[in-house]
Structure 1
Amino acid sequence: MNPTSLDYARNLDKNDDLASYREDFYLRENTIYMDGNSLGLLSKRAEKTLLDLLDSWKTLGIDGWTEGDNPWFYLSESVGEKMAPLVGGMKNEVIATGSTTTNLHQLAATFYKPSGNKTKILADELNFPSDIYALKSQLSLKGYDQVEHLVRVKSRDGRFLAEDDIIEAMTDDIALIVLPSILYRSGQILDMKRLSAAANEKGIPIGFDLCHSAGAIEHSLHDWGVDFAFWCTYKHLNGGPGSVGGLFVHEKNFENAPGLAGWFGSKKESQFDMDHEMDPASDAGAYQIGTPHVLSLAPVIGALKLFEEVGIKQVREKSLQLTSYLLELIRKELDGQGFIIGSPVDETRGGHILLEHKEAARICSALKEDGVIPDFRAPNGVRLAPVALYNSFEDVWHTVQKLKNIMDEKRYEKFENKRGVVA
């Protein structure tokens, strides 16, 4: 059967073990959603747990902290325990709390301990800007120059990072390493196991931003010896806009007092003693700062139920199949249209494909007009993320056909080649 035919795509869907999960999500009619690596879609289960938690507030009032199906007082711990298998952490090493950047501030404040010649932070030049802002801020708070003390590993081609270059940059003056697990533009997966082993050997704490990998690929953070990690839950985990993030701290580091202390980092049994001497939790719970954002945690509970049923291994397998099919169609249908594939074509890619084109912003606008929701990344990137739990192979086929028609008819030319307020 011809891979470029619609029948071929439909046959792939017939043999897809995860196809039925598509019915769990709210999909807009006549729209193909290819932006799940920016914001995942709402599932019926996430909606239900949000409404359930809202109802617990309505019916229980303050007793909701300790009563009901999901008592609020223990919510961060229980959701963290559910997330632990997705990142390869022990259940006491993961907590649902904060946001990506607040969690990075907490972890940097905890693990960045400059002394003597060891004063620098190692990052990379392709990382998401928010992480860099936070690291610069932490340097300033410790009295160090942001330019001199933030070392950013260079990319050889502007798309990917070489692990050899990162390891070479782990010099004696590095006090902390913070890297992405998956590069947000190209989708390259870094070898976290190798990098962690190298950092551990040199005695440098190492942490990873899992925003583009949590819910998309398998992890073994505990076994790899990663010191810490942090992530959002609104992308591949489908927790909703502004949903509460997660953090991991390896149990070997539990003796480290949290850099930013807060009431909810206390041991549960002593928290309400109201003592001015903090008695921190003896696990990842110690790194909480404030009261759980209950209504922003609520949809995450339901969203995680889908992962509990399916397992991250199956999600990753289908994701690879979807992106492989997308790559095959791009090569066959868009040849000669000026696109460059900016993602790894082997299994070191994450859950999205980056297409580079000089008219990328215009092309994204034309796709949206045609019922496909992509993601534009300046200056020239079109990101397409077929998500295993709700996208079909037919979605992929239609996306490429629409893109082909847009390019053939030059329909993108009627739009300005600039991003919107939210790209």
Structure 2
Amino acid sequence: MSQNLTLKHAKELDKSDTLARFKDEFYIKDGHYYMDGNSLGLLSKRAEKALHTSLEDWKEHGIDGWMDGVEPWFYYSEKLGGKTAPLVGAKKEEVIVTGSITTNLHQLIATFYQPQDNRTKILADELTFPSDIYAIQSQLELKGYDHEEHLVQVKSRDGYTLLEEDIIDAMKDDIALILLPSVLYRSGQLLDMKRLTEEAHKRGIVIGFDLAHSIGALPHNLHEDGVDFAVWCNYKYLNSGPGGVGGLFVHERHFGKKPGLSGWFGSRKDKQFDMEHVLTPAEYAGAFQIGTPHILSSAPLLGSLELFEEAGIGELRKKSLSLTRFMMDLLNQELSGCGFTICNPLEDERRGGHVSLKHEEAARICKALKAKKVTPDFRAPNNIRLAPVALYSSYEDVWNTVQILKEIMENEEYKQFENVRNVVA
């Protein structure tokens, strides 16, 4: 930070922001500062319209909505996959919108975890989201392996970040599959996916990534980088709504591989209604679908993706990095001596889309922020996550958020709250 930052500076940045117009696309309460888009993105008017379209198709056509109507449902997952593909750097055939992030994890681990000889272990890390670990443990046990022995978790040296060197060192001859986050959910660290994929493949190991905290916040190059598979949710930066349908990527070199978990929506489309008891899988990522698509939780994504097509993921990444840099500089300027530690990497190339703050009073500080119309995110044991989202956050929003946090700390307003998390944190 080379200058004293002011509200005037924030307003000047907003005035030159080429993406500022997208804020009007979202439903945002006056005087409210929403900094939790990395957990659940806000509703856009386009997403609302797309949902209404599917409701109208249901109302007008009933079951014929599968093939008729404004947005026929039978090919909906493929259409959404094609529109998502540019965000992950994939061919449209490599992406399908389906299931949830955890059911997709189960599907792809069941597909790609094929233990042979001494290669029986799965490599993950100790900082990843718990659901990923639960899925790995479950899949190991289903194949008759003790997860305490066959799940290897790379240790963090500081409790918040990982070193790629430590991950690479753990790629031993007994590793059959690797599953890692693209961005660590607590600290916001962005891993070098290309390097890790290259190192895994040198050793003959299949590697996949959980993109939950990166998709919609930054560009990816899954196809070019050679990533074997990936999964994600669409309700964070992609703003598809609570519990919105998930997505998955399978590199085209794996097309034709038998799905670990089979279901009728993995059928080749022209064969699906033949009702045969022998599955003829789709010849692309659609083969990894299991059940009937959840149309009403898929529809909002169609409207949301329109905004990403118009804004461009490259431009969104530039603004996201600028917003988080501005927030970090402000935190250092305004809250020095208040007990906060910035845990996310400071370098642009190693940072995802949110700022991670450590504080021993984190839970009660988050409650105090909510009481003053700032929505943060708490992650146990002592993390405050703040995500200024490029599509609908302004620099002035960031300025006001930090000023409110400063006021809370100076007046010790957080002390009126208990320092324990709510049931839903």
The interval holding the TM-score normalised by the smaller chain is over 0.9
CA distance in 2, matches of 1:145, 1:5: 56
| 1:294-309 correspondence to structure 2 within 5 Å | 294-309=295-310
For 2:373 and 2:63, the matched residues in 1 are separated by 45
Q: Is the 8 A contact 1:46 1:299 kept in 2?
A: yes
- Residue aligning to 2:207: 206
Aligned to 2:115: 114
- 2:403 corresponds in structure 1 to 401
Pairing of 1:403-418 with structure 2 (within 5 A): 403-418=405-420
What amino acid does structure 2 have at the position aligned with 1:16? Answer: D
2:260 is equivalent to residue 259 of structure 1: yes
CA contact (8 A) 1:216 1:315 kept: yes
Match of 2:358 among 356, 362, 368: 356
Deviations 1:208-243 (A, max 9, x none): 000000000110000000000000000000000011
Give the aligned residue type for 2:186.
R
Cα separation, 2, equivalents of 1:62 and 1:411: 55
- 1:345 aligned partner: 346
Q: Structure 1 runs of 4+ off > 6 angstroms?
A: none
Determine the structure 2 residue equivalent to 1:320: 321
Q: 2-side partners of 1:102 and 1:65: how far apart?
A: 24
Query: 1:37 and 1:111 mapped to 2: Cα distance?
Result: 28
Give the match for residue 6 of structure 1: 7
Q: Is the 8 A contact 1:2 1:8 kept in 2?
A: no
Residue in structure 1 matched with residue 42 of structure 2 by the alignment: 41
Q: After the TM superposition, which residues 272-311 of structure 1 pair with which residues of structure 2 at under 5 Å, given as runs?
A: 272-311=273-312
- The offset of 1:140, in angstroms, is 0.3
* C-alpha distance in structure 1 between counterparts of 2:405 and 2:262, whole Å: 50
Q: 1:41 Cα deviation (Å)?
A: 0.1
In the alignment, structure 2 segments of 5+ residues that lack a partner are none
Indicate if the aligned counterparts of 1:76 and 1:292 stay in contact, CA closer than 8 A.
yes
Structure 2 counterpart of 1:404, one-letter code: K
Cα separation, 2, equivalents of 1:174 and 1:269: 39
Give the alignment of 1:357-376 within 5 angstroms. Answer: 357-376=359-378
Inter-partner Cα distance in structure 2 for 1:17 and 1:417: 40
Count the aligned residue pairs. Answer: 423
Mapped partners of 2:212, 2:258: distance in 1: 25
Q: 2:287 and 2:304 mapped to 1: Cα distance?
A: 25
What code does the residue aligned with 1:267 have? R
Instruction: Give the Å deviation of 1:307.
Output: 0.3
- For 1:151, what is the secondary structure of its paired residue? strand
Question: How many Å apart are 1:69 and its aligned residue?
Answer: 2.2
1:335 is aligned to 336
User: Shift in Å at residue 330 of structure 1?
Assistant: 0.5
Query: What is the CA distance between 1:6 and its match in structure 2?
Result: 1.0
User: What is aligned with 1:179?
Assistant: 180
Alpha-carbon deviation of 1:178?
0.3
Specify the SS of the correspondent of 1:73: coil
- TM-superposed CA distance for 1:403, in Å, is 0.5
Over the matched positions of the two proteins, sequence identity in percent amounts to 64
Aligned-residue offset at 1:115: 1.2
Q: Which residue of 2 aligns with 1:382?
A: 384
For each residue in 1:303-355, what CA deviation from the matched residue of structure 2 results, as whole angstroms up to 9, or x when unmatched? 10000111100100000000000011001100000000010011111000001
Distance 1:22 1:297 in 2: 22
Partner of 1:194: 195
**Distance in 1 of aligned mates of 2:137 and 2:337:** 43
Task: Map 1:192-271 onto structure 2 (within 5 A).
Answer: 192-271=193-272
Question: In 2, Cα distance between the equivalents of 1:311 and 1:133?
Answer: 35
Task: Calculate the TM-score normalised by the size of structure 1.
Answer: 0.99
Give the aligned partner of residue 98 of structure 1.
99
Q: Distance in 2 between matches of 1:374 and 1:8?
A: 23
Classify the secondary structure of the residue corresponding to 2:75: helix
8 Å CA contact retained: 1:46, 1:300: yes
Indicate yes or no: 2:23 matched with 1:52: no
Deviation string, structure 1 residues 239-279 (Cα, Å, up to 9, x no partner): 00011100000001112110000000000011111111110
- Cα distance, 1:5 vs. partner? 1.5
What amino acid maps onto 1:413 in structure 2?
K
- Which residue of 2 is the match for residue 128 of structure 1? 129
Q: 5+ residue gaps in structure 1? A: none
Query: Which residue in the other structure is 1:25 paired with?
Result: 26
SS at match of 1:98: coil
- Partner residue of 1:67? 68
Separation of aligned partners in 1, 2:321 and 2:385: 15
What SS is found at the alignment partner of 1:230? strand
**In structure 2, what is the equivalent of residue 421 of structure 1?**
423
1:86 is matched with which residue?
Answer: 87
Which residue in 1 is equivalent to 2:157? Answer: 156
Contact 1:3 1:9 survives alignment (8 Å): no
Deviations 1:159-178 (A, max 9, x none): 10000111111111001100
- Residue 2 of structure 1 deviates from its aligned partner by 6.0
Q: Determine the structure 2 residue equivalent to 1:77.
A: 78
CA RMSD of aligned residues (A): 0.8
CA distance in structure 2 between the aligned counterparts of 1:201 and 1:266, rounded to whole angstroms: 33
By how many angstroms is 1:3 displaced?
4.4
Q: Which amino acid aligns with 2:368?
A: A
Q: Distance in 2 between matches of 1:46 and 1:292?
A: 17
